Amino acid sequence: KAGVTQTPRYLIKTRGQQVTLSCSPISGHRSVSWYQQTPGQGLQFLFEYFSETQRNKGNFPGRFSGRQFSNSRSEMNVSTLELGDSALYLCASREVNDEQYFGPGTRLTVT
Amino acid sequence: GEDVEQSLFLSVREGDSSVINCTYTDSSSTYLYWYKQEPGAGLQLLTYIFSNMDMKQDQRLTVLLNKKDKHLSLRIADTQTGDSAIYFCAERKGATNKLIFGTGTLLAVQP
């Protein structure tokens, strides 16, 4: 099976812009979770989607949102970008009662 | 709180054993995980242990869990230069897929 794929791998945006990141889970996996990794805060949970429904949300402002499509692909959106949003954004997929497998991440740089 | 703590750095010689330690906070955690992250890459699941187990061995990896002290360790036998990476422990909250990650331990293997 192909692993979790994330696009794009690298992205540069300026403050105030918005960005959309995409994640394609492993075939057959219906759960997708997103994490933010920064040197200062480490790995932090953003949200989790299962069958197109958000099941859990971390402590992030409303500028961070996501969605999941019927084919389990997921997108996350960050509006009004701030310098502090520069991070590696990781997506993980999971089959029911299976373990989470992570993609390679999208490196977002906000200038 | 949700802090999962790890020592920041460990240096070993090739062929020696490495032991990476982790202290977690939530006694209700169901699963505890070890992930490996190489430079510029996502997270690779190494192994995990269910909370009702004390030990799990998987080839060169041994996980020990002390629930009373909320202490988790990962032992890597015959450490190789390819094992150089950052290692994260993570706890899974109950029935959710939310993972709380540790701060990460940088393992440096000297030839």
pLDDT tens sequence across B53-109: 999 999 999 999 999 999 999 999 999 999 999 999 999 877 677 899 999 999 999
CA distance A82 to chain B (A): 22
CB contact (8 A) between residue B35 and residue A35: no
Q: Does B24 touch chain A (CB under 8 A)?
A: no
* More reliable by pLDDT, B3 or B35: B35
Q: What is the pLDDT of residue B2?
A: 62
Contacts of B66 (CB under 8 A, 6+ apart): B54, B72
Q: Helix, strand, or coil here: A22?
A: strand
Q: Which residues in chain A have their CB less than 8 angstroms from residue B35's CB?
A: 102
> What pLDDT, on a 0 to 100 scale, did the predictor assign at position B44?
94
What is the per-residue pLDDT across A66-98, written as a single tens digit (0 to 9) for each?
Answer: 999 999 999 999 999 999 999 999 999 988 767
A25 touches chain B (CB under 8 A): no
A29 φ/ψ angles, rounded to the nearest 5 degrees: -85, 130
**What pLDDT is recorded for position A1?**
66
Read off the pLDDT of residues B13-24 as tens digits, 9 standing for 90 and up. Answer: 999 999 999 998
Higher pLDDT among residues B3 and A111, named by residue: A111
pLDDT for the residue numbered B1: 47
CB-based contact (8 Å) between A31 and chain B?
yes
Q: Cα dist. A98→A31, A55, A76, B92 in Å? A: 10, 17, 23, 12
Contact A102, A92 (CB under 8 A): yes
pLDDT of residue A98: 72
Among B31, B97, B101, the residue with its CB nearest the CB of A56 is B97
- Note whether A102 contacts B100, CB cutoff 8 Å: no
Residue of A30, A36, A43 for testing the chain B interface, max B β-carbons within 10 Å: A43
Cis, bond preceding B39 (omega within 30 deg of 0): no
Q: Write out pLDDT tens, residues A12-65.
A: 999 999 999 999 999 999 999 999 999 989 999 999 999 999 999 999 999 999
Given the DSSP bridges, would you call strands A64-68 and A87-94 parallel, antiparallel or unpaired?
A: unpaired
Q: Say which residue, A2 or A62, is predicted with more confidence.
A: A62
**Residues 36 to 75 of B: which have CB under 8 A from any A CB?**
41-45, 48
Residues of chain A with C-beta less than 8 angstroms from the C-beta of B104? 42-43
Q: Which residues, at least 6 apart from A71, have a Cβ–Cβ distance to it below 8 Å? A: none
Q: Where are the alpha helices (DSSP H) in A22-100?
A: none
DSSP annotation of A25 reads P
Dist. CA B85–CA B105, nearest whole Å: 8
